[in-house]
Structure 1
Amino acid sequence: MIKRTLFFGNPAYLSTRNGQLVVNFPEGDTDEKSIPIEDLGYVVLEHPQITITNGLLMKLVQNKTAVITCDKQHLPNGFLQPLVGHSEQTERIRQQLNASVPLKKQLWQQTVTAKVANQAKHLLKQGKNALKLKRWAHEVRSGDVGNIEAIAAAYYFQNLFDEVEGFSRNQKGVAPNNLLNYGYAILRAITARALLSSGLLPSVGIFHSNKYNAFCLADDVMEPYRPFVDALVYHIVESGYSTEEIDKKIKSELLLIPAMDVIIDGKQSPLMVAMSRTTNSLYECFSGTSRRILYPDFV
């Protein structure tokens, strides 16, 4: 089943009772609400005056629910993850750590190829020229020694938001960079959750290896999924809605990312389910039972 995403942007007291997440509001003008914990995939905590009990945190972690905290700029900045995400975790981590350099280079080649191909399809869908991206997608070599991933990304964003004055892809750049940052943060949490459920370490990547990054593998695996977030942000921009601030309406749209429909292995699937298929296929590559990562096709 598709897990629900809950967003809390106002002061609230969160606790648990009888397997339910119970919500009480300090103002007292709203009745108590409850939601089955087993139905939850993501809980986003934005307001600084949210109180959550340890009992609830324990049950959310046991349910593999991703608990995401936000900073003063209202952007996701933290992710609570379980110590044990899979019954075979120790063996799976051992296989992940023992992955050979040639294997990791081949996996990164597949990842970059899938990302650039999806970027090309997205540009085409928006009526923009994607001939270079289509060509580059076929030119990615093992380990992406030609750095096509970066070259393609620069070309892609230059053309995707060409009508936005002064836009370039930069975390601190002009809007809609703020929307992209928010969407990618949600996507990163989805990826980390799926990796943990597959018994893998999100911190040990196949390409990303920054010692200050605790989610290197998540940043690797989410790459081909980014165009789905881009498409959602592009739709918001094209609607004429102001993107200078991420208001409640925009957040409600971006928080639908886990439930977005994507095509993977020829079948339609919610993005969060597709991500689990991707991470499980990655484990199969580490274990030697497969040589192909399953990634979605942008259509």
Structure 2
Amino acid sequence: MHETLLIDKPGTFLGKKSRRVVVKTPDSTEEFPLLKIKEINLVGTGISLSDDLVYQAVKQEVQINFQDRLGRVYASIVSPFLNQTVATVRAQIGAEDTEKAAGLAKEIVLVKIANQEKLLRYFLKHQRVYYPTNAEKIGELSNTLDSLGEQLLVTSFKPLNYHNQLFSFEGRASDSYWRGVKLLIGGKVDFPGRKGRGAKDLVNSLLNYGYAILYSRVLAALLANGLLPFAGFLHKDRSGKSSLVLDIMEIFRQKIVDETLLIFLNKKKLEPTLDQNTLFAFSQKVVERFSSTGRFVDNKNYTVEKIISLQVQGIAAYLRGNKNLNLVSL
């Protein structure tokens, strides 16, 4: 199954033939069945598509994303007839700066810290055998994350000023986490530490691209479940910022992108700068993660794609009045 169709060659035209996507370049023509595609990602400039394809794609709930060369989604085409229920939207807007909002934001940070600790401990087994000095340091950083999670668990927050307190915990945890990731990467490639927009080094470029893929999947899940992507609870609302998408992404970054990157770096000998072949190979590995399975809060196994959808459904129900909020730690 193709799931994600990635187009990044200038001069490419995408059209429709029956229920198939036709991809034409100056050198070749390929066809892909829409039934096997979940999203179409158009990266860079010089790519065009037909309105017939757009119509058929939204009809079959295939999301079309436009990304810059750094992998950042700057526009998406989705159907306006998704499940945007009035009750969910009103509940989401009404929850702003309430105890419910503070509770959701706190739970997101708790799960993020738990997932960060889990990732470091997962790779720690290998470090103990081959890099015992690193293993000791990574173990200490894992313990720091565990301690921060325990402190956060017993900390209460007031509805109107919880953001800064939560980001204090999140910031300290992220500092320990990325120091641990740097030790795990070792000397394979240079990693100057986590950098977001505008990063030029290989590791951060791949991370940013992987997060862009995750962004598009979370956005699709939010829209399908009637939630507004721009009204978040952990990340503050800001013009042009999909704050709720960023909130939900915090739960899944470690398992879907970070772990994939570390495995990718261990298995490949890479140049220090990003090239299109490396970008394509890594993006395919990230996409494959969505088809892998994990255990959800109901103790049943689902694909990661389904878990994202179930998690968003649970958050929507919580905002509408369900007292139980169970976020998954993959």
Q: What is the TM-score normalised by the length of structure 2?
A: 0.81
Deviation at residue 259 of structure 1 after TM alignment? 2.3
| 142-151 or 278-287, which deviates more | 142-151
> Superposed, which structure 2 residues align to 1:1-299 within 5 Å?
4-10=3-9, 11-18=11-18, 20-27=19-26, 30-35=28-33, 37-46=34-43, 48-73=45-70, 75-86=72-83, 89-99=85-95, 101-127=98-124, 128-129=138-139, 130-140=142-152, 141=155, 142=157, 143=162, 145=165, 147-162=168-183, 163-164=186-187, 165=190, 167-171=192-196, 172-173=198-199, 174-228=201-255, 229-242=257-270, 244-248=273-277, 249-265=281-297, 266-295=299-328, 297-298=329-330
Q: Is the 8 A contact 1:259 1:271 kept in 2?
A: yes
Deviation at residue 166 of structure 1 after TM alignment? 5.1
| 247-256 or 197-206, which deviates more | 247-256
Aligned CA distance change for structure 1 residues 213 and 139 (closer, same or farther; 3 Å)? farther
Aligned CA distance change for structure 1 residues 246 and 282 (closer, same or farther; 3 Å)? farther
Deviation at residue 30 of structure 1 after TM alignment? 3.6
**C-alpha distance in structure 2 between counterparts of 1:175 and 1:12, whole Å:** 26
**C-alpha distance in structure 1 between counterparts of 2:47 and 2:322, whole Å:** 45
Aligned residues: 292
Aligned CA distance change for structure 1 residues 155 and 213 (closer, same or farther; 3 Å)? farther
Deviation at residue 195 of structure 1 after TM alignment? 0.4
Aligned CA distance change for structure 1 residues 6 and 152 (closer, same or farther; 3 Å)? same
**C-alpha distance in structure 2 between counterparts of 1:186 and 1:32, whole Å:** 23
Gap runs ≥5 in structure 2:
125-137
Residue type of the alignment partner of 2:89: I
Deviation at residue 231 of structure 1 after TM alignment? 0.3
Q: Which runs of 4+ in 1 moved over 6 A?
A: none
Deviation at residue 31 of structure 1 after TM alignment? 4.7
Deviation at residue 178 of structure 1 after TM alignment? 0.5
Q: What is the TM-score normalised by the length of structure 1?
A: 0.88
Aligned CA distance change for structure 1 residues 247 and 263 (closer, same or farther; 3 Å)? farther
**C-alpha distance in structure 2 between counterparts of 1:245 and 1:75, whole Å:** 16
**C-alpha distance in structure 2 between counterparts of 1:105 and 1:168, whole Å:** 30
Residue type of the alignment partner of 1:286: L
| 264-273 or 67-76, which deviates more | 67-76
Deviation at residue 15 of structure 1 after TM alignment? 1.9
1:239-287, Cα deviation, whole Å (9 max, x unpaired): 2431521433223223334324332222332222111001100011011
Gap runs ≥5 in structure 1:
none
Deviation at residue 7 of structure 1 after TM alignment? 1.3
